[in-house]
Amino acid sequence: MKTRLATSVLAVLGAGGALLIPGTSFAGNIGYYEMCSGQGEAWQASYITSAGHTPVQITVPDAPSLSGLNGFFVTNCDNDGYASEYTSNLAAINNAVTNGLTLFMHDRHVTNAASIMPGAGGIVFTREYATGGSDINLPVGSPVITGPGGTINNTSLDGFSYSSHGYLTVSSLPAGSSVYTVRADPTRAVTVNYPAGAGHVVYSTSPLDAFNGSASFRTYGVNLLANAGLGVSTTCASEGYTSTKLTWCKNICEMGYTGATLDMWIHRWINRYRDLPYCAAGGPPPPPPPPQDT
């Protein structure tokens, strides 16, 4: 959508027009928590800081603790299940995600993940590490490939015991999901990002807690926190547009229009408002529109 919008706006403005499409990075407050210890650990905080965010230690993942967070970074070091303190607060965690939080989860157990992950009822999780668990590949464009943590490639996360403790069946992921790492079989995802209400869940079967000492896994973890997004989205409504301006903004920014239809709405917007909607803002003001036919 951003590429189409940039092309259309430049076509409307002419060669002298300038456009800066907003990026997806966002510096926010990220809580951190390790299930086995029942509180956030220092190594987790260092990942968050390296990713450009502010770490917030969580000792109990309840509603007051999650309030005001943009992200929640959780690791589960238990191969056999999930901590009772965490599961007893699932309602608060689910509610926070539904309202816009991004939950980052690195999970060793995997087997019953559908029962604790927000919006995961239809996702197929499989715990399996002996066959294929040491091979992780990076799809083209994955946000973990490069970032503030450095750069990794298809072999960087291979050979550990084990690089993943299972996989998610790609065909079972909800609409709007992204796959960040996979096994040799690309239908078996290791790290994914899927929408849940107004928020997102970034889930991985890689035991990041176990490989914290690995430079490659640290690069992966930092880039994931930096580039996967925090569920903070700007919309026409959140920008305060109302009435006709709201409708036209949606037509430009949120309806997915292309070609002549998109160009038409951009022309209308510039002719009336002499600026650009939020999704095309950032450059200098556009030049005056051409005279309208009467």
pLDDT tens digits along 42-62: 999 999 999 999 999 999 999
Pair 204, 260 in one domain: no
Pair 196, 252 in one domain: no
pLDDT tens digits along 239-264: 778 889 888 887 887 666 777 888 89
Pair 87, 67 in one domain: yes
Name residue 201's beta-bridge partners.
103, 194
- Tokens standing for residue 214: 């690995």
Please answer whether residues 100 and 198 qualify as being in contact, where contact means their C-beta atoms are separated by less than 8 angstroms.
Answer: yes
Mark 133-170 as b/e (b = at least 16 C-beta within 10 Å).
Answer: bbbbbbbeebbbbebebbebeeebbeebebbbbbbbeb
Model pLDDT, residue 11: 58
**Pairing outcome for strands 102-107 and 71-76:** parallel
Which residues contact residue 22 at a Cβ distance below 8 angstroms, ignoring those fewer than 6 apart?
A: 234, 278, 279, 281, 282
> Is 187 inside a domain boundary?
yes
Where does a domain end: 227, 246, 267?
A: 227
Model pLDDT, residue 75: 98
pLDDT tens digits along 129-158: 888 888 999 998 899 999 999 999 999 999
Average pLDDT over residues 266-283: 79
Number of neighbours of residue 87 by Cβ within 10 angstroms:
15
> Is 37 inside a domain boundary?
yes
Pair 34, 120 in one domain: yes
> Is 287 inside a domain boundary?
no
Please answer whether residues 127 and 165 qualify as being in contact, where contact means their C-beta atoms are separated by less than 8 angstroms.
Answer: yes
Which residues contact residue 115 at a Cβ distance below 8 angstroms, ignoring those fewer than 6 apart?
A: none
Pair 243, 220 in one domain: no
Pair 94, 217 in one domain: yes
**Closest C-alpha among 54, 109, 86 to residue 230:** 54
**Closest C-alpha among 110, 48, 276 to residue 56:** 48
The total domain count for the chain is 2
Which residues contact residue 240 at a Cβ distance below 8 angstroms, ignoring those fewer than 6 apart?
A: none
pLDDT over 70 (residue 20): no
Pair 179, 51 in one domain: yes
Please answer whether residues 136 and 190 qualify as being in contact, where contact means their C-beta atoms are separated by less than 8 angstroms.
Answer: yes
Please answer whether residues 222 and 51 qualify as being in contact, where contact means their C-beta atoms are separated by less than 8 angstroms.
Answer: yes
C-alpha span between 108 and 166 (Å, rounded): 8
Model pLDDT, residue 21: 33
Average pLDDT over residues 6-29: 51
Pair 33, 150 in one domain: yes
Model pLDDT, residue 163: 92
> Is 83 inside a domain boundary?
yes
Model pLDDT, residue 234: 55
Model pLDDT, residue 219: 97
C-alpha span between 163 and 48 (Å, rounded): 21
CA-based angle 284:289:291, to the nearest 5? 165
> Is 186 inside a domain boundary?
yes
Mean pLDDT, the chain, whole residue set: 85
Pair 197, 245 in one domain: no
pLDDT tens digits along 58-96: 999 999 999 999 999 999 999 999 999 999 999 999 999
CA-based angle 282:285:289, to the nearest 5? 130
> Is 294 inside a domain boundary?
no
pLDDT tens digits along 153-210: 999 999 888 999 999 999 999 988 999 999 999 999 999 999 999 899 999 999 999 9
User: pTM of the entire structure?
Assistant: 0.72
> Is 95 inside a domain boundary?
yes
pLDDT over 60 (residue 1): no
Check residue 110 and give left, alpha or beta (phi > 0: left; psi -120 to 50: alpha). Answer: left
- Tokens standing for residue 185: 């079989």
User: Which range is least confidently modeled, 1-10, 200-209, 218-227, 232-241?
Assistant: 1-10
C-alpha span between 142 and 137 (Å, rounded): 10
Pair 50, 183 in one domain: yes
Pair 110, 161 in one domain: yes
Pair 181, 86 in one domain: yes
Q: Which domain CATH number covers 63?
A: 3.40.50.880
> Is 264 inside a domain boundary?
yes
Q: What is the CA radius of gyration of the chain?
A: 21
> Range of 156's domain?
29-227
Model pLDDT, residue 239: 72
pLDDT over 50 (residue 33): yes
C-alpha span between 27 and 24 (Å, rounded): 10
